Amino acid sequence: MATFRTITPQSIDAATTLGVTTLRVADAGRSLAFYRDLLGFHVLEQTASTIVLGSPDHVVLRLEVEAGLKRHPSNVTGLYHAAILLPTRLDLAYMVQRLIAVRYRFGASDHAVSEALYLDDPDGNGLEIYRDRSRSEWRWGANGEVHMVTESLDLYGVLAEITPNAPAWAGIPAGTTIGHMHLQVGNLRQAEEFYHGVLGFDIVAHYPGALFVSAGGYHHHLGLNVWQSQNGPQQPNDAAGLAHFEIVMANQAALDSVRQRLAAADVTVQEQANGLVVLDPWQTELRFIVAA
């Protein structure tokens, strides 16, 4: 497990968001049947080893195809789920409708700040598909933490958004993004020290076995849990899972601030032309880039 020096906490730039998430999968055809044909992602680019997926205006996911990969294990550090944020409740309703139509197994929860669906892709990569409630509906406690719950989702209420006058479904809509990433970690204390203490994400909620952090007052950009991964092994190289994900900084100054904090904490950084690459204490790869 990586070690680093403790430094004074400092909030990451408030305009920080998440960018493209890259997942590892074993079979291109099987993944296209799921992501394109069922979920409605647009294929923006495809090679023998890569499938780029998104909305008409934005890349959301990249799939790295490697034949022979095993199913993603549930007890390793790394990916818990990649959370795909849809623009409207109607968009979520169409997703519910499509999953029910083919009897694809999914879970559903109301988190007070959002309404969410949970499912696995054919390789066991966890996904959340959700829509946010308006920020004016979020409630914050005196301790500075956002009120989030896990309650049953009103699926009938969601489906009622599909009225006779509703626009026809046309696949993943413009404005769809990666809203947050939820990671499995080996130790919550060390996760807090790294993601909050070093990187500067603000703590927005504690939950049994989990910690949620964000930038700029979002309900969470990162979830970190030990529900199945306490002191667990790293994601194996021969299995599907998370390859890496992007953390998007608003400008070069914001990126430089993160770079300086990583240097102060003695965290190894790999410089790239468009940003930098960092591994968390469990070797999950984060790519910091500047917004285009």
pLDDT band of residue 273 (cuts 50, 70, 90) is confident
Answer whether residue 2 shows pLDDT above 90: no
Q: Which amino acid is at 71?
A: R
Answer whether residue 253 shows pLDDT above 80: yes
- Six token digits for residue 48: 């023998």
User: What pLDDT shows up at residue 6?
Assistant: 85
Q: Residues 6 or more apart from 216 whose CB is under 8 A from it?
A: 13, 14, 15, 16
Is 65 within 8 Å of 31 (Cβ atoms)? yes
Answer whether residue 174 shows pLDDT above 80: yes
Q: What number is the average pLDDT over the span 271-278?
A: 93
Cα separations in angstroms, 136 against 132, 181, 215:
11, 23, 17
Which helix or strand (DSSP H or E) is residue 255 part of?
Answer: helix 252-264
The percent of residues above 70 in pLDDT, for the chain, comes to: 99
- Six token digits for residue 292: 């285009």
Answer whether residue 292 shows pLDDT above 70: yes
Q: What number is the average pLDDT over the span 250-277?
A: 96
User: What pLDDT shows up at residue 271?
Assistant: 95
Mean pLDDT of the chain: 97
User: What pLDDT shows up at residue 236?
Assistant: 95
Instruction: Kindly report whether the global pTM for this prediction surpasses the value 0.85.
Output: yes
Q: In what order do the strands lie in the sheet with 50-55?
A: 42-46, 50-55, 58-65, 17-25, 241-249, 285-290, 275-279, 269-272
Per-residue model confidence as pLDDT tens digits over 111-125: 999 999 999 999 999
Per-residue model confidence as pLDDT tens digits over 60-86: 999 999 999 999 999 999 999 999 999
pLDDT band of residue 57 (cuts 50, 70, 90) is confident
